[in-house]
Structure 1
Amino acid sequence: MKKFIISIMSSLVLILSFGLQANAATPVKIPVLMYHRIEVNANKNDTWQISLNEFKQEMNYLKSNGYTTLTNDQFYNIITKKAPMPAKPILLTFDGATSDFYYNAYPILKQYGFNSTEFVVTDQIGTSWGSPSDMIRIMTEEQLKTVAKNKVELENHSTTHGHIANLGTTELTRRVAGATNKLQSMTNKPVGYFAYPFGESSPNFVNVLKNLKVKMAFKVGGGLATDSSDLMNMPRIGIVNTDNITTFIRKIKTGY
């Protein structure tokens, strides 16, 4: 009987060991998508505006094909090999917190139960600018609080947008910390992730983020995210107005 029990236990150990080795051997490759504006009638002259119909097709594809939309912590833990990777992981990010997210993208994300991230420029909350034909409106604090209760993570895009990568340490610290404090006070949730305005970083910027305990920062471009990607310059795949469902599928599979 003892020999039988020992044999069973040995078999279990071998099975578990094989599973862990297989997981460790699985290459980590995750598409991180970057959206900006989702409009009913997208301006074809604006690279970062895509149509609501196109967005619906893309989200339906992810749902129909079994993709798992990640939270930032899940993504971080997979990238750093602290957690196993699901079969089809993906991270959905949006920059700028424009109101079209609230009215157009958010209902689709909520319908499918998707996780997503909105990188917020905090000094712009509730403001608007532009021409009457193309007015840019930023979500109000109440709208941001609403989406934050429904699987949308609000993360740091600085207090102000602009080409800020080469500002001094004191000013960068003020802008990053200011945005973190604002978002945390709004949501009562930790803020630990950052998206560089215009995707522009610098060695000093990276040091500022590390000193402020930012866990991960995202740039623009670079293909699929892997476990060898730089945590403070994580790649993102831009979804633009020349994309269609065919190019979308290619991008999430290849990164380009």
Structure 2
Amino acid sequence: MKKIIISIIGIVIIMSAFTFNANAATSVKIPVLMYHRIETNPNVNDTWQIGLNEFKQEMKYLKDNGYTTLTNDQFYNIITKKASMPVKPILLTFDGATIDFYNNAYPILKQYGFNATEYVVTDQIGTSWGSSSDTIRIMNENQLKTVANNKIELENHSTTHGHIANLSTAELTKRVSGATTKLKTLTSKPVEYFAYPFGESSNNFVNVLKSLNVKMAFKVGGGMATDSSDLMNMPRIAIVNTDNITTFTKKITTGN
């Protein structure tokens, strides 16, 4: 009887290991969404301003349809075949750390217990600019700390925004490492992921990021992320103000 039980246990262990390896070997395909501003009264002439009601509908769709919102490390481990993939994985990213994230997007994400990433331009923290009709305000340190303690990862978007891909090695190193240091000081957490300003990279930029131990960097466009995607030029799917729930569901299933 003991031999039979031991044999059964052995079979279960082998089957479990096989299942994990099979999952890890499955072709990976994950939508990475890129948002910018979530506004109660979006400017229809600004591609990057999404209405709050639309955002609520999109997040509810993800919740109702069983999507798993990943952390960056989970995403990285799945892409590099170090971990198995859940049935419906998705990575949510936001660029700019504007105040609308704190006021509008963050409460919805918190309501659903979603993971998300905010890419921060660190020299802009706590600043504001623009016109009286559209003042752009960036979250302050306390607001960033609040979201960072509630499943929102703060990652590197350089110290300054702009078309920086072709700057010198020294200048790129300064801007990337400066942002990393600032965010680590703010959150006491690792900062290992990067989003290119304007989605623009270069061979030199990639080499700088690698030298600074950045694990993965994200561009704009390119469809679904797969296990064959370039780790230093990972695709992201832009969610824009012309999207509705129909185009949203198409994007997260096809990448386009």
Q: Which residue of 1 aligns with 2:57?
A: 57
Q: Is the 8 A contact 2:96 2:118 kept in 1?
A: yes
1:121-136 matches, cutoff 5 A: 121-136=121-136
TM-superposed CA distance for 1:13, in Å, is 4.9
What does 1:1-256 correspond to in 2, within 5 Å? 1=1, 4-5=4-5, 7-9=7-9, 11-256=11-256
Q: Which runs of 5+ in 1 are unaligned?
A: none
d(CA) in 2 for partners of 1:182, 1:2: 60
CA distance in 2, matches of 1:205, 1:21: 35
Q: Give deviations 1:26-72, integer Å, cap 9, x for gaps.
A: 21111000000000011010000010000000000000011111110
Whether the 8 Å CA contact 2:24–2:85 is kept in 1: the answer is no
Q: Find the aligned partners of 1:47 and 1:176 in 2 and give their Cα distance.
A: 27
What is the CA-CA distance between 1:149 and the residue it aligns to? Answer: 0.8
Tell me, in whole angstroms, the C-alpha distance in 2 between the residues paired with 1:79 and 1:63.
23
**CA RMSD, 1 decimal:** 1.3
Q: Deviations over 1:202-244 (max 9, x none)?
A: 0000000000000100000011111111110000000000000
| AA aligned opposite 2:79 | I
TM-score by length of 1: 0.97
SS at match of 2:34: strand
Mark the CA change 1:2 to 1:212 in structure 2 (over 3 Å): closer, same or farther: same
Relative distance call for 1:56 and 1:171 in structure 2 (3 A) is same
Query: Which stretches of structure 1, 4 residues or longer, exceed 4 Å deviation after superposition?
Result: none
State the 1:8 CA deviation: 2.2
Q: Distance in 2 between matches of 1:93 and 1:140?
A: 19
Q: What TM-score comes out, normalization by structure 2 length?
A: 0.97
The unaligned stretches of length 5 or more in structure 2 are none
C-alpha distance in 2, partners of 1:9/1:108? Answer: 44
Superposition deviation, residue 245 in structure 1: 0.2
Letter in 1 for 2:30: I
Q: Distance in 2 between matches of 1:151 and 1:183?
A: 15
Whole-angstrom distance in 2 between the partners of 1:134 and 1:21: 51
| Aligned amino acid, residue 194 of structure 2 | F
Q: Secondary structure at the match of 1:144?
A: helix
CA distance in 2, matches of 1:149, 1:4: 50
Deviations 1:102-121 (CA, angstroms, capped at 9, x unpaired): 00000100111100000000
By how many angstroms is 1:7 displaced? Answer: 4.1
Q: Distance in 2 between matches of 1:177 and 1:14?
A: 45
Give the letter for the 1:134 counterpart: D
Per-residue Cα deviation, 1:133-189 (whole angstroms, up to 9, x for no partner)? 011111111111111111110000000000000000000000000000000001111
CA distance in 1, matches of 2:242, 2:226: 26
Q: Residues 74, 21 of structure 1: CA spacing in aligned structure 2 closer, same or farther, 3 A cutoff?
A: closer
